[in-house]
């Protein structure tokens, strides 16, 4: 039976249409957030106590009319706050040009200050590159084969870097590593560390800076990310870090590494079980692995019920994470929410690891595990 064979409920139709077009509204507003980030509009607003669209345009060397319309979207989406020139009387004569626009302190933290862990512009940075993959998806749906992260171009790598670096800079060394068994002491004394899926190198460079007696290798398969990592290494002046491309160089030798880290990458891999086996192989007998991956439930029902960002996560999976995990014909295709703790523990034990412990770290997206050989 099709919908044309049934009497439509006008109220249900209205609510369903509202829901559908609310999704479109969010997508369009996400584009406006990207523009605001790229043009520095949030940083301009953050540096003031309130500005008119003319002030914003002048400070940014932009066209006022375009800025004013952008501000209107941001106010309607409850991202930017407006103080209307006409006060409480909405019917008074007015021009939107003399409304005052401002950011709350919370908005500054998310939109404008890259030094704060809540900063969230990374995913918006890579939004055009991510959405550009929509043209490839019909073929992926037909063939089952996706595309790797380099398909998103250099901005894809920078977007990932900007997504994870603020929180990592604030908490990796001060909060995460101290919760692991003896790792900080070992790092201070000097051990060998491998960061697999290192991306642009943010985490590995941070650890290398804090633990100069240890040696670090960052491993990835993204040419764009590794190019960015090399640039950052050159600027850092560190001599205890190197980067390698796993497509052209072999992973470290058996039983040669003390500590392995993987940050939000196992679920993206075409062969996650094999990678976990490789991690087990390269670790020394007393070696440890810090697995950081997306916090996920065991079922669709659990994710939808408990995760308010489930729709976003599943959509990003199709556009990016699962597409990477299916970028060859033998890909396992875990996807963004594809590595819940039960499966991660099963993979670890299957590879030979004896100990699996979830760390007591609160994070809106990620779960943290200490896994020992």
The tens place of each residue's pLDDT in the chain, 373 residues long, gives 455 557 899 999 999 999 999 999 999 999 999 999 999 999 999 999 999 999 999 999 999 999 999 999 999 999 999 998 765 455 544 555 579 999 999 999 999 999 999 999 999 999 999 999 999 999 999 999 999 999 999 999 999 999 999 999 999 999 999 999 999 999 999 999 999 999 999 999 999 999 999 999 999 999 999 999 999 999 999 999 999 999 999 999 999 999 999 999 999 999 999 999 999 999 999 999 999 999 999 999 999 999 999 999 999 999 999 999 999 999 999 999 999 999 999 999 999 999 999 999 999 899 999 999 9
User: Which residue, chain included where needed, has tokens 């540096």?
Assistant: 47
Question: According to the model, what pLDDT value does residue 159 have?
Answer: 94
User: Which residue, chain included where needed, has tokens 């590595």?
Assistant: 339
By DSSP bridging, strand 81-83 and strand 355-358 are: unpaired
Question: According to the model, what pLDDT value does residue 56 have?
Answer: 97
Kindly report the three-state secondary structure assignment for every residue of 282-339: HEEEEEEEEEEEECCCCCHHHHHHHCCCHHHHHHHHHHHHHHHHCCCCCCCCCCCCCC
Q: Nearest 5°: phi and psi at 334?
A: -60, -50
Question: According to the model, what pLDDT value does residue 7 have?
Answer: 86
Question: According to the model, what pLDDT value does residue 205 have?
Answer: 98
Cβ 270 vs Cβ 328: under 8 Å: yes
3-class DSSP state for residue 138? helix
**Helix ranges restricted to H, the chain:** 10-38, 41-46, 53-60, 64-76, 105-111, 122-125, 127-132, 137-143, 153-171, 183-189, 202-210, 223-236, 272-282, 300-306, 310-316, 322-325, 341-351
CB neighbour class for 159 (10 Å; exposed up to 12, middle 13-18, buried from 19)? buried
pTM metric for this prediction: 0.90
CB neighbours (10 Å) of residue 216? 27
Q: For the chain, first and last CA: distance in Å?
A: 57
The dihedral sign for the CA sequence 54, 58, 64, 70: negative
């Amino acid at each position: 039976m099709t919908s044309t064979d049934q009497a439509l409920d006008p109220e249900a139709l209205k609510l369903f249409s509202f829901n559908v077009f609310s999704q479109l509204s969010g997508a369009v507003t996400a584009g406006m957030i990207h523009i605001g980030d790229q043009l520095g509009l949030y940083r301009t607003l953050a540096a003031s106590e309130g500005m008119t669209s003319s002030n914003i345009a002048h400070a940014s060397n932009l066209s006022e009319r375009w800025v004013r319309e952008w501000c209107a979207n941001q106010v309607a989406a409850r991202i930017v706050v407006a103080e209307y020139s006409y006060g409480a009387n909405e019917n008074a004569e007015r021009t939107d040009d003399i409304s005052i626009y401002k950011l709350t302190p919370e908005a500054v933290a998310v939109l404008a200050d890259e030094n704060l862990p809540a900063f969230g512009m990374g995913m918006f940075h890579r939004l055009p590159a991510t959405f550009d993959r929509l043209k490839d998806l019909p073929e992926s749906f037909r063939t089952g084969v996706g595309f790797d992260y380099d398909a998103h171009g250099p901005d894809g790598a920078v977007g990932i870097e900007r997504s994870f670096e603020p929180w990592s800079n604030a908490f990796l060394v001060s909060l995460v590593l101290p919760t692991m068994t003896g790792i900080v002491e070992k790092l201070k004394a000097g051990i060998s560390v491998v960061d697999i899926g290192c991306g642009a190198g943010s985490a590995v460079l941070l650890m290398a800076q804090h633990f100069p007696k240890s040696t670090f290798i960052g491993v990835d398969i993204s040419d764009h990310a590794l190019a960015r990592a090399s640039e950052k290494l050159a600027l850092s002046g560190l001599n205890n870090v190197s980067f390698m491309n796993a497509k052209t160089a072999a992973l470290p030798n058996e039983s040669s590494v003390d500590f392995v880290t993987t940050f939000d990458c196992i679920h993206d891999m075409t062969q996650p079980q094999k990678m976990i086996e490789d991690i087990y192989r390269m670790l020394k007998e007393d070696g440890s692995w810090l697995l950081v991956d997306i916090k996920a439930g065991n079922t669709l029902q659990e994710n939808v019920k408990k995760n308010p960002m489930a729709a976003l996560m599943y959509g990003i999976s199709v556009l990016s994470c699962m597409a990477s995990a299916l970028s060859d014909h033998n890909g396992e295709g875990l996807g963004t929410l594809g590595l819940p703790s039960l499966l991660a523990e099963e993979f670890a034990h299957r590879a030979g690891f004896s100990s699996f412990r979830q760390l007591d770290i609160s994070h809106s997206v990620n779960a943290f595990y200490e896994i020992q050989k």
